[in-house]
Amino acid sequence: MHEEQGSSVRMTIIVDDAGSGDLLFGVVIGACREETGEFSYGLVDVRFFQQVLFCQKEYLQEASRIVSQLVAELKVKPDEEIHVCQGNIFDEAVDELRKVYGEGRVLRVKVVGEPQRLTEIAYLDEIRNLGYEPLAEREAKRAKSFFHMMRWLKANPDMLRYAKTGWPRLKRYRLFNAFHEDSLYRAVCSDCGCECEVPFKPDPARPVYCRACWAARRGR
Ligand SMILES: [Zn+2]
């Protein structure tokens, strides 16, 4: 049990992610105050890692929104530092935190120990909740874990909606191509350049827009 003793106990908030490199589920973002064991987490929904949203990197904004919320919930102490994992999912979050709390108090670090463990556990709970049992050596054997998850998806195709199907490297696997509905055609958006799906056969002579760009154009 830790006790707060005014400014004599230096506190640090540590922000980490889990699941960014994993095929299944979205990403768990954990925020931990190591000295007191306070921990809470939020989720970047898997749809941010599917098709157009992934291409447009909207997960950066979503991660930033979640980090700001988690950090605010922990009620940052006046001189408390915020240490954020180096993963690129936090690039916008760090910019935002530095604007709010000052450049010097927000550091990029390699997260280890308890904060890393708690965030990892939260991710494992989420994927077990889908009915998937992760490999014990998941973190050490990334490639093995990827194919383990892929085999599980092959056996449970209705769970593809919980997979990060927006990853460009998945295009070489038939499993993920079959995921696209037959009635949809693949196209490249004329505005943002992201791959998208449209319900008509694209005419090469005319521009095609993804849903987001189409909505933005209509709003002009
Ligand atoms: Zn677009």
Cβ-defined contacts of 4-10 (< 8 Å, 24+): 4/36, 7/79, 9/35, 10/35, 10/79, 10/80
Q: What is the pLDDT of residue 22?
A: 96
* pLDDT single digits (tens) 94-149: 999 999 999 999 999 999 999 999 999 999 999 999 999 999 888 889 999 999 99
The alpha carbon of 36 and the centre of ligand 1 are apart by a number of angstroms equal to: 45
Beta-bridge mates of residue 83: 14, 107
Q: What is the pLDDT of residue 29?
A: 98
CA distance linking residue 14 with residue 28, whole number of Å? 14
Sign of CA dihedral 201, 207, 210, 212: negative
DSSP 59-96: HHHHHHHHHHHHHHHT---TT-EEEEE--GGGHHHHHH
List Cα–Cα distances, 108 to 111, 159, 177, in angstroms. Answer: 9, 34, 37
* pTM attached to this predicted model: 0.84
218 band by pLDDT with thresholds 50, 70 and 90: confident
CB 58 within 8 A of CB 218: no
Structure tokens at 209: 């827009």
CA distance linking residue 193 with residue 125, whole number of Å? 36
The alpha carbon of 189 and the centre of ligand 1 are apart by a number of angstroms equal to: 5
Structure tokens at 118: 């708690």
* pLDDT single digits (tens) 163-207: 999 998 888 888 887 655 566 788 899 999 998 888 788 888 999
Query: 188 in helix, strand or coil?
Result: strand
Nearby residues for ligand 1 (ion, Cβ within 5 Å): 189, 191-192, 210, 213
Mean pLDDT of 24-36: 96
Q: What is the pLDDT of residue 64?
A: 98
The alpha carbon of 215 and the centre of ligand 1 are apart by a number of angstroms equal to: 9
The alpha carbon of 170 and the centre of ligand 1 are apart by a number of angstroms equal to: 20
Query: 23 in helix, strand or coil?
Result: coil
CA distance linking residue 93 with residue 86, whole number of Å? 11
The alpha carbon of 89 and the centre of ligand 1 are apart by a number of angstroms equal to: 21
* pLDDT single digits (tens) 55-74: 889 999 999 999 999 999 99
CB 196 within 8 A of CB 51: yes
Structure tokens at 46: 């898997």
CA distance linking residue 142 with residue 19, whole number of Å? 11
CA distance linking residue 140 with residue 192, whole number of Å? 36
Structure tokens at 137: 């050596």
The alpha carbon of 212 and the centre of ligand 1 are apart by a number of angstroms equal to: 6
